[in-house]
Structure 1
Amino acid sequence: MLRRFSINFALFSMVLDMLAVSTGLKLAVYARPFFNSIPWFKVIETPGLVPLTLYFLFPLIWVLIYSSLSIYDGRKYLRVFDEFSALTFAMLIASVSAAGILYLSYRQVSRALFLLFILIVYLICLAWRILIRIYFRSQKTPPEKKRHILVVGAGALGQKVKEQLLISPSLDLEFEGFVDDASMKAVDPTLYLGAAEEIREVLNKHSITDVVIALPHSAYYQMGDIVQRMEDLPVRVWVALGFFDLALYKTSIEDFAGIPMLDLRASAMDDYQHMLKRGFDVTFGLAALALALPLMAFSALLVFLDDGAPIFFKQARVGANGHLFEMLKFRTMVRNAEQLQSQVEKRDEDGKIIHKTRSDPRVTRVGRFLRRFSLDELPQFLNVVRGDMSLVGPRPEMPHLVDKYQPWQRKRFAVPPGITGWWQVNGRSDRPMHLNTEDDLYYIQNYSILLDIQILIKTVWVVLFGKGAY
């Protein structure tokens, strides 16, 4: 039986995609004459001829590009939003590559036929992935296939590893407990499996397959001894590097006097990346603004008819390097909403501020509609063109909340704030504010222009499903 996270399934997926491309090309050839009635389509009475070479070349292109973008890495795209967003991006790259080949070689192939081919292939690739997800969800992971996880260290880092394991969408991960000193036993005896010196006995007793070492900085000297105790046992060993919290933006390994060293103060973005990001923002920001003008006019009219002027809501936000700017949105709340802010702010069990709730009484009827489809954020394209914001970036924060930031949270001002970002496509308003900040830092540490494009594509899916929007 095929397992989702296996080399055999990756090869199986490649074969299915190659068949999808070949089938899509053939279906497009036969479907093309049915579109003759559309005014701008050239009349073709019989199915057009496509060179036989393309039936072999196109599948190869698709699989190569999908592979280069890790589409076949099942563990990388556990969530459906992630996989479909990545697939859409890969499909775009493959389509452009195929169009370039046609332009340089087989220019007699109909452009309309090519567009039909792209649409059909995209739908087939989506369809079989949806079906395979349904199939795997209906299957229960056999006990012998589950991965049993032991965490060494029950401190802050170890607890974070446990939380991530428990919320992981992967059904084959089983968190078994901690190995730590005896004080852990008094805190939660059900999760205390033994001391570090007893790790061999714990591994055998609980059939552990993976060990995650999550020790605090002060206990790193124990790591060598712990690893040595497991040296002859068939378990995988992972290290959760807590010292990455010391990094300002991202880390990099560099040659330092002939010694490989970890740079904890590497720059978030170099000059070339800043230039590329700004060029991307201006080009696509202007295009998006032009396309959004009819929707903006419609939204403005709705706001005015529902609650009168002002139509726009202007608010000071903190941008790159702590620079203050005025962010634009369509007004979705009553006129004195800011004066009522203290009445709706709450704190979670950890004392973190929650300043947005689903049942906020200040939101107008039209405002709920605009927020549901993120139409209230369209004026922010003006902020992007002006350079105050980026299309993709950290969440634009309010100054009074920034004043309460801890030092580690201020790392997020290394890049301009964005209309959308990693925080938005991973929960939006459903996530507590401090977790949004962690998403912002993840984005900064992993920035690339390709990541920006993937986030933009994923945002479309998130908005369509209305996930976390209120």
Structure 2
Amino acid sequence: MIEHPPAQEKQTPTTRQRLHHQRRWTMVGLFLADQALIFAGFVLAYILRYQVSWPPPFDRIIAEVAIENQVPFSAFLPIVFMLQLLLGVRFIMRGFYRSSRRMTLLDEAEAIAGSVITMIALVMVVVFLYRPFFYSRLIFAFAAITIIGLLLSWRLLLIGIRHWFWSRGLGRERVLVVGGTGLGQLVMHALTASPGVGYTLAGYLSEQPIIAANRARVFQHLGDLDDLEQVIEQQQIQQVIIALPFWNYDRLPELAARCQQLGVEYQIAPDIYQLSFDRVDIMHLSGVPLLQPKEIQLHGLNLALKRTFDLAAVLLSLPLTLPLAAMIALLIWIDSGRPIIFRQQRIGKHGRPFTCYKFRTMVPDAEQRRQELLAHNEADGPLFKIRDDPRVTRVGRWLRRTSLDELPQLWNVLRGEMSLIGPRPALPEEVARYEPWHHRRLEVQPGLACLPQALGRSEISFDEQVRLDIYYAENWSLSLDLRILMMVIPAILSGRGAW
């Protein structure tokens, strides 16, 4: 246990105080930037309305209307200031300037578009009640488009810059995990496997250090739960994730209160993980919260919608995928001969076996040589993977890095054995080693791409992959499928975690 030194008078601002001031000024800067962009968007709308020469057939109509209803920009200044005030208040209320990673770009785009359109409509009502025939209605339509475009472009630039810095280890928040059991280890594996989320794991607190198995990632043990305050000071912690097992939940209120007193942001990872599901619905019984396992969303109409999307996407992509498949087949034949296609038994929905097709990426006798390499396994759980597998061919290494070896699985999708998005199909010997809660991932159709593939591929622990698969099954929507597709493409192009 770490000894606690006597309290000393603080003469200089602490790290947390400096960070608090830095965040405050960052929020002020973002607010002022948004205000400037709103003003610039209205200026651009004014130019489009009154000064731009439009191409035929709009040039004559727009020109005549512009000349007839010419209004100086100074007449719009009260409207612009009113719009800036309304949108500024609206953005603050929506939490745009809080340092939160919960909002994705799609969430922000939806919130920005909705806020801008709502506030401009409100301004139009006020303006045309006051001066019904003085101002152009078209300028407000232009303003909605230009302001939304500028604000979204600005946020896309900010996100790109932020992720560029995070991926290089710059500007990340130092995180302390409280808890060293299975849940705490899952959180730590997730943090280290996802550098793009902007966190750096400083270490963890638990009563006993983690005993690491061979080839397991070792995390830094910084003390026990009573050392929370001192570790936060010494390690300059900016974020605490409390991941206690359920038998330590009596310490949760105390730890949360200490984080609040220290002014450190904290999050809680609930240990509902032991109940074999990853998400719950909350019900109330006379004020008492009850946790109910969340149902799998892929059934009935949702399942029919997903199947229609799969078939349409595969059939529409055939003009691209067929020539690509022919080229890959030729490369494999030139590099290592036949067979071109590798067939393997996999486990599908509800544990049903099926034949999965892939382009061959290994030497023909790879399965026979597997026993020789079991001692070199670098994956955890029931998986078997080697980063530099000697059985992989030259073309196979490129196919694996780009995931093009899975292109023949489009045939499995057409046959209804797989889907475009879903948990990756497991081998029978892997399923035989599943823990009971792992089987929940088998309740949906396996997929060509999945959420773990988008977030880190082989760099994510097996338990974390299963947790993400369960999250997908319990929260499925067509928009989630589209998001995963958009996330998988850059992950494949970068080759991150592919081995």
TM-score of the two chains, using structure 2 as the length reference: 0.64
Residue ranges of structure 1 left out of the alignment (5+ in a row): 34-41, 99-104, 107-113
Counterpart Cα distance in 2 of 1:10 and 1:294: 48
The 1:305–1:161 alpha-carbon spacing in structure 2 relative to 1, beyond 3 Å, is: closer
Instruction: Choose from 411, 415, 424 the match for 2:453.
Output: 424
Residue deviations 1:167-188 (CA, integer Å, cap 9, x gap): 67466767575375xx679999
- 1:207 and 1:260 map into 2 onto residues whose CA distance is 36
Alignment of 1:37-48 (within 5 A): none
- For residues 71 and 211 of structure 1, the distance between their equivalents in structure 2, rounded to whole angstroms, comes to 22
Looking at structure 1, the residues matched to 403 and 46 of structure 2 have their Cα atoms a distance apart, in angstroms, of 39
Asked whether the 8 Å contact 2:186–2:463 carries over to 1, the reply is: no
Name 1:76's counterpart in structure 2.
101
Once residues 359 and 280 of structure 1 are traced to their aligned partners in structure 2, the CA distance between those partners, rounded to angstroms, is 36
Instruction: Name the SS for the 1:439 alignment partner.
Output: helix
* Matches of 2:287 and 2:332, distance apart in 1: 64
Counterpart selection for 1:192 from 223, 240, 259 = 223
Instruction: Map 1:170-249; keep pairs closer than 5 Å.
Output: 175=202, 178=205, 180=207, 191-193=222-224, 195=226, 212-223=241-252, 238-248=267-277
Deviation at 1:328, TM superposition (A): 1.5
Query: Would you say 1:345 and 2:371 are equivalent positions?
Result: no
> What secondary structure, in the 3-state scheme, does the structure 2 residue paired with 1:314 have?
strand
For residue 425 of structure 1, give the secondary structure of its aligned residue in structure 2. Answer: helix
Identify the residue that residue 403 of structure 1 maps to in structure 2. Answer: 432
| 1:19 positional shift | 8.6
**Residues 304 and 340 of structure 1: is their aligned pair in 2 closer, same or farther, counting only changes over 3 Å?**
same
Aligned-pair identity in percent equals 32
What corresponds to 1:157 in structure 2? 183
Q: What's the Cα RMSD here?
A: 5.7
Which residue does 1:36 correspond to in 2?
Answer: none
One-letter amino acid of the counterpart of residue 262, structure 1: L
Q: Distance in 2 between matches of 1:233 and 1:88?
A: 31
* 1:379-427 superposed Cα distances (whole Å, 9 cap, x missing partner): 2112112211111111111112111111121111121111111121122
Query: Alpha-carbon deviations, 1:255-307, whole Å to 9, x = none?
Result: 55875421025335343322222222122122123431111122222223333
Distance 2:154 2:260 in 1: 47
Q: Secondary structure at the match of 1:413?
A: helix
Aligned to 1:262, which of 276, 279, 291? 291
Q: Determine if contact 2:382/2:433 at 8 Å carries over to the other structure.
A: no
Deviations 1:328-356 (A, max 9, x none): 22222222222222233346689745533
Please state if 1:304 is matched with 2:337: no
- Which position in structure 2 is the counterpart of 1:372? 401
Query: AA paired with 2:223?
Result: Y
Separation (CA, whole Å) in 2 of partners of 1:10 and 1:282:
44
1:157-213: CA deviation from partner (whole Å, max 9, x where unpaired) = 345445556667466767575375xx6799999722564xx9789889999876654
The corresponding residue for 2:420 is 391
Alignment of 1:246-325 (within 5 A): 246-248=275-277, 250-255=279-284, 260-264=289-293, 266-325=295-354
1:316–1:398 Cα contact (<8 Å) kept = yes
Q: 1:425 to 1:259 in 2, by over 3 A?
A: same
For the 8 Å contact 2:361–2:396, the answer to whether it is kept is yes
Q: Which moved more, 1:397-406 or 1:202-211?
A: 202-211
In structure 1, C-alpha distance between the alignment counterparts of 2:271 and 2:350, rounded to whole Å: 26
Matched residue type, 1:459: V
Deviation at 1:75, TM superposition (A): 4.0
Please report how far the alpha carbon of residue 318 of structure 1 lies from its aligned counterpart in structure 2 after TM superposition.
Answer: 0.8
Give the direction of change, closer, same or farther, for the CA distance of 1:249–1:7 in structure 2 (3 Å limit). same
Q: Where in structure 2 are the equivalents of 1:429-444 lying within 5 Å? A: 429-444=458-473
* Aligned mates of 2:412, 2:253 — CA distance in 1: 52
Partner of 1:451: 480
Q: Is the 8 A contact 2:345 2:427 kept in 1?
A: yes
Indicate the larger mover: 163-172 or 217-226: 163-172
Structure 1 residues 454-463 or 163-172, which shifts more?
163-172
Q: 3-state SS of the aligned residue for 1:424?
A: helix
Quick one: distance in 1 between partners of 2:398 and 2:199? 39
Contact 2:444 2:473 (8 Å CA) reproduced: yes
Q: 1:263 to 1:342 in 2, by over 3 A?
A: same
Deviates more, 1:238-247 or 1:453-462: 238-247
Q: 1:22 to 1:394 in 2, by over 3 A?
A: farther
Which secondary structure does the structure 1 equivalent of 2:452 belong to? coil
* 8 Å CA contact retained: 1:2, 1:9: no
Shift of residue 374, structure 1, vs aligned partner:
2.4
* Partner amino acid, structure 2, of 1:178: L
Is the 1:331–1:376 contact (alpha carbons within 8 Å) kept by the matching residues of 2?
yes
- Aligned twin of 2:11: none
Separation (CA, whole Å) in 2 of partners of 1:441 and 1:402: 15
Match of 1:415 in 2: 444
CA distance in 1, matches of 2:321, 2:467: 31
How far did 1:442 drift?
3.4
| Preserved contact between residue 177 and residue 240 of structure 2 (Cα < 8 Å) | yes
Closer/same/farther in 2, CA of residues 324 and 130 from structure 1, 3 Å limit: same
Count residues in correspondence: 428
User: For the structure 1 residues 375 and 72, does the alpha-carbon distance in structure 2 shift closer, same or farther, using more than 3 Å as the test?
Assistant: farther
Task: Give secondary structure in 2 for the equivalent of 1:310.
Answer: coil
Deviation, structure 1 residue 459: 1.4
| CA distance in 2: counterparts of 1:157 and 1:200, whole angstroms | 22
Q: State the 1:462 CA deviation.
A: 1.6
Which structure has the larger Rg? 2
Structure 2 CA distance, aligned partners of 1:375 and 1:186?
Answer: 38
- The answer to whether the Cα contact below 8 Å between 1:312 and 1:331 also exists between their aligned partners in 2 is yes
Establish whether residue 333 from structure 1 lines up as the match of residue 362 from structure 2: yes
| Code of the aligned partner of 1:284 | A
Equivalence map 1:454-469=2 (5 Å)? 454-469=483-498
The equivalent of 1:101 in structure 2 is: none
Further displaced range: 208-217 or 455-464: 208-217
Q: Does the aligned pair in 1 maintain the 2:380–2:462 contact within 8 Å?
A: no
In 2, Cα distance between equivalents of 1:272 and 1:124: 39
SS of 1:335's partner is coil
Aligned-pair distance for 1:215? 3.4
